[in-house]
Amino acid sequence: MKLKTRLLPFESANFTVILDHNVAKKLDVKLGDRVIVRFNGRSLTAIVNTAKDFPIDSIGIYTNLARVLGISEGDEVEVEATSPPLSLQIIRKKLQGLKLESDEIYLLVKDIVEGKLSELELAAFVTAVHFQGMVPSEIYDFTISMVNTGQTLNLKKKPILDKHSLGGVPGDKTSLLVVPIIASLGYTIPKTSSRAITSAAGTADRMEVLAPVTFSIEEIEEIIHKTNGCIVWGGSLNLAPADDIIIRVEYPLGIDPFFIPSILAKKLAVGSTHIVLDIPTGRGTKVKTLEEARRISQSFHEIAKMLNMNLQTVATYAEEPIGHAIGPALEAREALQALKTLNPPDLVDKAASLAGTLLEMVGEKDGYEMAIEALKSGKAEKKLREIIEAQGGDPNIQPEDITLGDKTYTLHANDSGFVYYIDNSFLATLGKTAGAPIDKGAGVYIHVKLGEKVKKGQPLITIYSSSSAKLQLVEKLIEENTPILVGRTAGRRMLLEKIQYQPTRLVPLER
């Protein structure tokens, strides 16, 4: 059937079209079925949404489909019903707890990349993997398939250093320091990052406050040629493109079952030769104990060995947020301040430890001291400014130029004493409820750290948002829960809270 296109200003993880009920009937498709859309010798499979009283000579086309097929408003396309993809059977197999074979995984990843699966079907797969897990051969096949269904970066200059985090600890802007430290010392570091998966900001969200993060492979090569490094969003690059599609489904679910293929595929796609992998370890994060961190490290190594990758895993302290800032703008501001002033100390120590580990992997002595020197001398700050400029941002940006949400709410201490508990996951929830990471100025500033002395009435946290309604939701959450506990004595406190039974309240098992 030939239909005229109406461009709709929506994006979706898969390709979506809108058809009038009657047109859908004529094509013999219903909501959620697939059609093939053909235009100018190219075609794509799209998922059908139906609408009442949509013009019967037309098809509504989402922006991402229009972009890929090069469709403009009013173009004529050929539309035909098609059967569900084979990969749906593969998803069912995983739901039954069965192991997937290499060719099945490749087909599934290809269908994900080609937008053939709906978000609902993808969510079922992500949830199945969350509960069933994957055996090493599945993780390996997933990693390889993610790389082979995208493009790769082929940098001539070796070694290629890289850093990645498993994420999960709020406020982890460490990459914004590690990349310029390494690049300022003459090494190549093509850093691609994801957006937030479980937290209020991912590194791509933080960097986007300072400069654009969306580039083509050729543009990335140019940025790296000029500066030795980059901090860009992996999802824009067609490097392991399945990764970002999966992350978009994981984000609302707050789960991250694909971290090994997601991370290793990104590293493989840019040709990294030496990788430091950070496993933040602490309460309220993805990895709660050192024992768990060692187990995860073992799994990473098993796959890295199959892929011939040189990997060093490190478990890092994550009992409380890194630094004070949580949320894209607050974190970008804190990273710039840290490059200028070497404060806050935990952020600087973490960045120097990771950069130092990388430097020692390529044969340097005293990597930690070299990294600190790059910070003290101002070389690292200068390098970040070069990278910002090469990516199209303002190289002279100052921390105070960064705009934060104009609505704020501050929680004050009810009592004098010492901070003995900080709830990482609740702080991430507060940041997300305030609007982060989409609202770049939204987030949480924590005024105190574990063990610090506070006086009654002193600010504990300030939440920023550009929405009064979202801030009200935050206040409501804080009425029901406490992100920071203060006790009268220094040191250990055994009683955290007398927990009230709330018969009507649904409590999520894991935030």
Ligand X SMILES: O=P(O)(O)OC[C@H]1O[C@H](OP(=O)(O)O)[C@H](O)[C@@H]1O
Ligand Y SMILES: O=c1cc[nH]c(=O)[nH]1
Length of the chain: 511
Choosing from 54, 233, 259, 300, the residue that interacts with ligand Y (CB under 6 A) is: 259
Choosing from 23, 124, 166, 211, the residue that interacts with ligand Y (CB under 6 A) is: 166
Q: Count of CB atoms within 10 A of residue 481's CB?
A: 12
Please, what is the minimum distance in Å from the beta carbon of residue 249 to ligand X? 14
Choosing from 171, 202, 235, 321, the residue that interacts with ligand X (CB under 6 A) is: 202
439 is catalytic: no
- State the pairing for strand pair 76-82/34-39: antiparallel
Total binding residues toward ligand Y, as defined by CB under 6 A: 9
Please identify, using beta-carbon distances, which residue of 300 and 420 lies nearer to ligand Y: 300
175 touches ligand X by CB under 6 A: yes
**Residue of 173, 176, 175, 180 whose CA lies nearest to 200:** 173
The closest residue (CB) to ligand Y is 262
Choosing from 187, 258, 409, 445, the residue that interacts with ligand Y (CB under 6 A) is: 258
Burial of residue 17, with CB atoms counted within 10 A of its CB: 0-12 exposed, 13-18 middle, 19 or more buried:
buried
Q: Distance between terminal CA atoms of the chain?
A: 47
- Scan residues 254-273 and list those touching ligand X (CB under 6 A): 256
| Candidate segments 26-34, 197-205, 310-318, 387-395, binder of ligand X by CB under 6 A | 197-205
Task: Please give the structure tokens belonging to residue 465.
Answer: 């948002």
228 touches ligand X by CB under 6 A: no
Residue 286 assigned to a binding site: yes
**Residue of 446, 476, 174, 469 whose CA lies nearest to 316:** 174
**Residue of 423, 406, 418 whose CA lies nearest to 480:** 423
Choosing from 167, 328, 431, 437, the residue that interacts with ligand Y (CB under 6 A) is: 167
Task: Please give the structure tokens belonging to residue 437.
Answer: 């990471």
> Which one from 111, 141, 162, 256 is the annotated catalytic residue?
256
Please, what is the minimum distance in Å from the beta carbon of residue 11 to ligand Y? 21
263 touches ligand Y by CB under 6 A: yes
**What ranges in 50-191 are assigned the alpha helix state H?**
63-69, 87-95, 102-113, 119-132, 136-148, 175-184
Residue 433 assigned to a binding site: no
**Residue of 365, 375, 373, 294 whose CA lies nearest to 338:** 375
Residue 254 assigned to a binding site: no
Choosing from 85, 115, 167, 367, the residue that interacts with ligand X (CB under 6 A) is: 167
Q: CA 156, CA 170: separation in Å to the nearest integer?
A: 35
Binding residues: 168, 194-199, 203, 262, 286
Site for ligand X, rule CB under 6 A: 164-165, 167-168, 175, 193-194, 196-199, 202-204, 256
Which residues are the active-site residues? 256
